[in-house]
Structure 1
């Protein structure tokens, strides 16, 4: 059969590849971004209860009303904003589905979408499938800050959407109030949509505060913000995420959501709603993950790897250029095979495979695993 691939550059998935290599060599897997610890027992008990409560059929397409109401309450508590659970909140099958759905709902062939790299690797394929034109703004190591004067040059009359991510995966950088003000100034008077990936919203460190565009009136009217219960509640395998957007944008988002997955898991939505109604444990995540970051950094202090600043997310970048001149992909393969630790080569989070000799570790692991990984890497 003859056909033209929409994603010819995808031959595999770096996260799956590195996790598979880690399993093959019995290595400590600090590559793929998932916790190695269980969610709250109370939450798991609620799932068992909800499975027995007539939840075997479809949930409503936009998501269970009870969960959407809890999300609105959470937005008020965390951001101080009022969100209409009926017209502004949509529950999806993970944040990635919400990102794909948002892009598919608005991007037409020829529309330009600006993405910021290094970044999560789902944006470009989603834009390509929709027929849009990807415009890449590259942040520079080691600060990974956005120069908004430079960024302005990437905006053209064809710009339909700008994708932002804070805290950023993989760099751990944050957008601050000045960043949001600059972005608001650039899009003022345009029809540009902001797609804001905020899945690590509660993982901000050293006294920093997460800045969501939803907080800024001039941005909120054009923003689709995407969040992840997988990250917030340590349940990445449950695949429950959500989007908050103005009604006009939500209406279009739901049209695509309805005709792809239709709805997310009914019993899991109900369990999360019941859990959130009586538990705000996510407010403790900044302290929880900052301790893990610090444990990991202290343990890694004996190695020759040089840490970059991590202000958010549960990823830590290291510079290995003092150790080797090899490319980051080859270096990560060697780490697994010779030292028993898996990492992600940051070049795989750039469209052009830009290589600064940086690797990414996930520190959403128990302390003993983090310390064991550091002991192995001390032999480098």
Structure 2
């Protein structure tokens, strides 16, 4: 048999998705892969019911159905505070995963360098390698997961083609301040670099923090490629509806990659999801209130158990320090946790550059009763502390 591609030697399958399979194997509560166990808004489900009978059921326009792009542009104009042309500035993708891959392949040539903040969502390293790029890692330092300005400048001095920015951050829940974004933007302009943003948690922000869209800052729209999705905002992770918002030249390039990568996102799901794009501000206020309550419930429970964690500023993840349990391998700890305790988490090492084995990541996008049961099971951890 011919030798397989060696670019795949540099990364493994997704640890996050693997932990879901382990959770299923042991019947554990899945606090690893970040998807809800509650239904999407009923208005979207009703729209899906209608679409199932009426259609469309064939291909939509490759870069997104016209009415979907128009509604998305109106919604994002409101939140981003910039003018968005649905025909020139929007591309609909099969989830934000494809959006990030399209962005990387559209701006990077083989051999280019890309800055990645560490800890990072595991896809970013794979995206860089698959696009032929070399990651440059810049550390986000706990407890607030801030970056060192000089370290970031040193990374820019290596003339990267792009920087990947997850805001709010997965896995830490960090929300980048406007001051931090202005500094990142100043370096991007100074060194003529793109910034590819992953903003799928843009509407899950905890008080008093505020989300700022990098593309909305002065002179940044032309070099910012904003990637996001409807998955987390409307609890429809399985629908795989993502998008890119960028300047026309970037979008035209991304359209080429998208066309030959996936052809197009699912037409009936785009049609049904329009109902969500039409929601008013009250929906997003309620969404934040719901996740504020889930966060308080879960973190208060961790406090009672005595687990150490970093409080998230946004998104729905929490990084927990497992040093006191004496495991040298966080993956083995997570397997044990799923099997013996009945709760699944993600080993933190999958998010870090370098040997970091003392963190695990939980998520709290679950029904209240699910979180209460998970905390009840986690109480058993008190018996295993060193």
- Same fold by TM-score, threshold 0.5 exceeded? yes
Residue aligned with 1:322, SS:
helix
What is aligned with 2:51?
50
Query: Could you say which residue in structure 2 is the equivalent of 1:297?
Result: 299
Q: Work out whether residues 119 and 349 of structure 1, in 8 Å CA contact, stay in contact via their aligned partners in 2.
A: yes
Contact 2:116 2:163 in 1 (8 A): yes
CA distance in 2, matches of 1:226, 1:182: 20
Unaligned stretches of 5+ in structure 1?
none
Which residue does 2:332 correspond to in 1?
330
The verdict on how the C-alpha distance between 1:298 and 1:130 changes in structure 2, with shifts beyond 3 A counting, is same
**Would you tell me which structure has more helix in proportion to its own residues?**
2
Contact residue 304 and residue 320 of structure 1 kept, 8 A? no
Secondary structure of the structure 1 residue equivalent to 2:39: coil
Q: Deviations over 1:38-75 (max 9, x none)?
A: 10122112112123234111110121121111112112
Q: What is residue 263 of structure 1 aligned with on the other side?
A: 264
- Give the aligned partner of residue 377 of structure 1: 378
Alignment partner, residue 180 of structure 2: 179
Paired residues of 1:169 and 1:315 also in contact (CA < 8 A): yes
Secondary structure class of the residue paired with 2:10: coil
Once the two structures are superposed, residues 101-124 of structure 1 have per-residue CA deviations (whole angstroms, 9 ceiling, x without a partner) of 111112111111111111111111
- Size of the aligned set, in residue pairs, is 379
Maintained 8 Å contact 2:156/2:191 = no
Match of 2:2 in 1: 2
Q: C-alpha separation between the residues in 1 aligned to 2:191 and 2:68?
A: 33
Deviation at 1:157, TM superposition (A): 5.3
Look up the SS of the partner of 1:159 in the other structure: coil
State the distance in 2 between where 1:45 and 1:222 align.
39
State the partner residue of 1:159: 160
Decide whether aligned partners of structure 1 residues 168 and 132 sit closer, same or farther in structure 2, where only a CA change above 3 A counts. same
Q: Contact 2:198–2:227 at 8 Å: present in 1 too? A: yes
| TM-score with structure 1 setting the length | 0.96
Asked whether 1:237 is paired with 2:234, we answer no
Distance 1:13 1:157 in 2: 29
Q: After TM superposition, what 4+ stretches of structure 1 lie above 3 angstroms from structure 2? A: none
CA-atom RMSD, angstroms? 1.5
How far apart in 1 are the matches of 2:313 and 2:60?
A: 37
Q: Is the contact made by 2:305 and 2:378 (CA closer than 8 Å) also made in structure 1?
A: yes
Where 1:131 maps in the other structure, the secondary structure is coil
Match status 1:311 vs 2:331: no
Once residues 145 and 223 of structure 1 are traced to their aligned partners in structure 2, the CA distance between those partners, rounded to angstroms, is 21
Q: Given the alignment of the two structures, is residue 92 of structure 1 paired with residue 87 of structure 2, yes or no?
A: no
Instruction: Return 90-99 or 53-62, whichever deviates more.
Output: 53-62
| SS of the residue 2:288 aligns to | helix
1:101 paired residue number = 102
Report the counterpart of residue 253 of structure 2 in structure 1. 252
TM-score normalised by L of structure 2: 0.94
Q: Provide the C-alpha distance between the structure 2 equivalents of 1:54 and 1:206, rounded to a whole number of angstroms.
A: 41
Instruction: Find the counterpart in structure 1 of residue 345 from structure 2.
Output: 343
- For 1:365 and 1:353, the matched residues in 2 are separated by 30
Comparing 85-94 and 54-63, the one that deviates more:
54-63
CA contact (8 A) 1:46 1:275 kept: no
The answer to whether the 8 Å contact 2:115/2:137 transfers is: yes
Structure 2 regions of 5+ residues with no counterpart?
382-386
C-alpha deviation, 1:353, in angstroms: 4.2
Query: Once the 2 structures are TM-superposed, how far is the Cα of residue 129 of structure 1 from its aligned partner?
Result: 1.5
Q: Name the SS of the counterpart of 1:196 in structure 2.
A: strand
Shift of 1:318: 1.3
1:283–1:220 distance in 2 versus 1, CA, 3 Å? farther
Q: Cα offset for 1:136?
A: 1.3
**Does the 8 Å contact 1:304/1:322 carry over to 2?**
no
SS at structure 2 position matched to 1:335: helix
> Do the aligned partners of residues 130 and 344 (structure 1) sit closer, same or farther apart at CA in structure 2, a change above 3 Å counting?
same
